[in-house]
Amino acid sequence: MKPSIYLVVIVVALALLCGLLFFSQYIGLVSMNEVAKQDWADLDAQLRSRADLAPDLVSAVKNRAPDEEEVFNGVADALGRLAAAATPSARAESEEALTIALDRLLAVAESCPELNADEDFIRLQIELADAEKRIDASRGRYNDNVEIYNMCTDGFLVSYVAGRIGFLPRERFEPPKVSAKAHGEAVPDESETEKN
């Protein structure tokens, strides 16, 4: 065989190897992207189930403490913001607002002893706590898979190709930490905590 034939065979073999590598990366990205989409759908369903409890909680508290219109409006506003949120970061901010509003609502409920003895209200509180646990689990799963997907889209040569064929990095779902100030609690001075 002539040396030029060896060169052609080597070039073809390298091209096939590169094509196989690209194809396997592509299949991996498609798979990881689908897993992240499914995890987001699961997380979204858990977030919606929590939000669906809010009107029932408001109704229960409104029957016992009708003078707390500001608190009830706060929950309604938070639910409105939640419905308009389209991205994970916007959704996270809306979820924080709903968390603060629900915490205020539950604080009002604590001041009504007859409400704390109501079986329906107790059931709603248990459902809310269960929903929050499911949200935490779903958020962890979603964020873990997004992290893996984003690392893969950031790999050597993959990042160049991934962006061009539509595999862009995905946003994690990290709700901002609800500050203690938002709940009216004392917050230690940052300079004091740095000294410790």
> 56-88 burial, b if ≥16 CB within 10 A, otherwise e?
ebbebbbebbeebeebbebbeebbebbeebeeb
**140 occurs within a structural domain:** yes
Q: Choose among 145, 142, 129: nearest CA to 49.
A: 129
User: What are the contacts of 180-186 at 24+ separation with CB within 8 A?
Assistant: 182/100, 183/100, 183/103
Q: In this structure, are residues 93 and 176 in contact, taking their beta carbons and an 8 Å threshold?
A: yes
**61 occurs within a structural domain:** yes
**144 occurs within a structural domain:** yes
Name the pTM for this structure: 0.77
pLDDT tens, 119-176?
Answer: 989 999 999 999 999 999 999 999 999 999 998 888 776 777 777 788 888 999 987 6
**32 occurs within a structural domain:** no
Name the helix (H) or strand (E) containing 89: helix 88-110
What's the domain range around 119? 39-181
pLDDT tens, 57-82?
Answer: 999 888 888 888 899 999 999 999 98
Average pLDDT over residues 16-27: 85
| Residue in the structure block whose two tokens are 């509003």 | 101
Domain count, the chain: 1
Q: Choose among 65, 40, 20: nearest CA to 142.
A: 40
**148 occurs within a structural domain:** yes
Question: What are the tokens at 18?
Answer: 């590169």
Contacts of 163 (CB under 8 A, 6+ apart): 153
d(CA 173, CA 34): 16
pLDDT tens, 26-45?
Answer: 888 889 999 999 999 999 99
For residue 159, the domain's CATH number is 1.20.1440.20
